[in-house]
Amino acid sequence: MIGRLNHVAIAVPDLAAAAAQYENSLGAKVGPPQDEPDHGVTVVFIELPNTKIELLYPLGDNSPIQAFLDKNPAGGMHHMCFEVEDILAARDKLKSEGARVLGDGDPKIGAHGKPVLFLHPKDFNGCLIELEQI
């Protein structure tokens, strides 16, 4: 069911500084900031040869990333995203095995314009998992 690693997301307290660090210090290809109001974040994608890194910054007062940064002021890894061919089939299989899908359980459109779901970190060794339909 699980496909390739699509991205690793890192919550950052300063989006411009983090993007500049990846671009200037590491020589990475860094995309422009992209607001995602439905998810309460501004994202910047860093392109790597085999995957991406997603920098996350709070957008709005109710951003879940702000709550994460309140607990982790220096930032840190927020989630991993894996590709799946059929997000509804993946959701149903995982739910039948006891995994908890966050939110209302229905996919939302993510930063790549594709359906995404998040799985509770307590069900996956303390790591928030995002599934993205390819």
Active site (annotated) includes residue 36: no
Marked catalytic residue, from 23, 47, 54, 130:
130
- Tell me what the pLDDT averaged over the chain comes to: 96
pLDDT of residue 61: 80
pLDDT tens digits, 75-90: 999 999 999 999 999 9
pLDDT tens digits, 7-27: 999 999 999 999 999 999 999
Confidence of residue 122 (pLDDT cuts 50, 70, 90): very high
Say whether pLDDT at 106 is over 90.
yes
Per-residue pLDDT averaged across 45-55, rounded? Answer: 96
**How deeply is 83 buried, as exposed, middle or buried, from its count of CB atoms within 10 A (0-12, 13-18, 19+)?**
middle
Question: Which two tokens mark 98?
Answer: 């006891």
pLDDT of residue 118: 97
pTM attached to this predicted model:
0.93
Percent of the chain whose pLDDT exceeds 90: 95
